[in-house]
Structure 1
Amino acid sequence: MSAPRLETLAWDGLEDMACGEFIATPTVRHLKKLSLYSHGGDEANAAAVRRLKGCPAVDHLELRLTVRVLPAEDTVKDISHLPTVTNLRLDVNTWWYRHTIGATLARIITKCNNIEHLSIRVRGLLEVCSDAQCKCSQPKGWEDQKIQLEHLKKVEFKGFIPFDDRKSLLRLLLENAPALEKITVEFDPSYIFENPKEVRDKIDFDMPDYQGSWTPCDLEFRECGFFDGATKYEWTREKPTEGI
């Protein structure tokens, strides 16, 4: 099969149907609704990886990622370098799997070192893996790696929960994106509503400034007395003072 002029492709649920077919899509620039498991080499995952390889011109990638860590190989390592991607959206699903997501997202982001806009949306359980040896936190020291994100300007993180791995991912972006202008972080509303009040009152974003400043916003819960704090934070880089 061939689609020589196709520029936008929604691969919604086609992994199982097309896993045995190769569809040439060399002109696709916007690839969306592509589903992938973080670990496990089943046929649907193999089809998703082939689809990425079959879109060498893609600049806008929307990936549906399920963090599922089994006694299986890391799927992300099979994804080739994606130098043409400038706009990356990661819709992350952690339902049924209590795993950290920071290391997996970092591995995907390093494949797209020319991105300018990054959007992360997380849905799932409000717990995190406690097994230090689990593959979801591998490789060790991932949060201290040096990656090239010279063109990254804007980051949006929705469904944020202040677990260590997610804050480490933010720090990784701040340390490796010299052109970064703005980060928007929005808390998962379920995390706020479902936790007991004593937990909600102790929510601490606790992020370093990195040549910029964090501003709390969206304080609408304050009015009803349910949650006395910010549900959204924005980071902007400080502009250099003229003459200094």
Structure 2
Amino acid sequence: MQEKVSIVKIGGNLIENEAVLDEFIEGFSKLEGLKILVHGGGKLATQLAEKLGIETKMVDGRRITDAETLKIITKVYGGYANKTIVAKLQARNCNAIGLSGADLNLIRSVKRPVKTHDFGFVGDVEAVNAAALKLLLDHQITPVCCAITHDKEGQLFNTNADTIASEIAKAISKDFETHLYYCFEKNGVLRDINDDTSVIEEIDTNSYQKLLEEKIIADGMLPKLFNCFNALEHEVAKVYIGSIKMITDPQTKKTTITL
């Protein structure tokens, strides 16, 4: 029987709010068994860019990462956000290590091809070093992975944290029973975006198509759900979308994604 690993992804909105982050860290540190945390930090990066007078350019909700923006993202994701999370986990006796994709050659990417837009230094994941993650997990060390990868030729890339979480889950699924959690501000995928109680408790491939046709699922939720289904198709055992409360309370309302 495979040992369970929980892979939890949190977004920049949760990291920005210290009270919410502390609540999450408290719950995550008490999560039984082996675990991996993946985080972004986009809002913090945007705030720092504004202070430095560097314009944040977005296309279809996605950040254009030029050379100056990459420096800011590296400082925020790999520095302040990552080490703050690690320090808070250590304070709760959860032995964590902060990593970018470059550390331990953890996540190798290629620059996103130019189609309609050049997103700059944005990477699409090519490979995950599952052996390195297994080594850390076997020693009861919790990896805290930020949304930065590399090409093994010296170039860093800004990379989607949802995708990183999915790719990590897929990579270690041969060695562990992997459960993937996407935590954000809502209680799950909502039937009515203005009603936090309208959680769709289960979405499979058939109901997903209907929700797309009804335009209930759109915009930023589309890539998140793509990553969910992609994970399940590659032997990831369970995938959930919901608030931070689902980490500690199995009875909390959330969306379960199934094939």
Q: Larger Rg: 1 or 2?
A: 1
Q: Which structure carries more helix by proportion?
A: 2
TM-score by length of 2: 0.30
Which structure has more RCO (C-alpha within 8 Å, separation ≥ 6)? 2
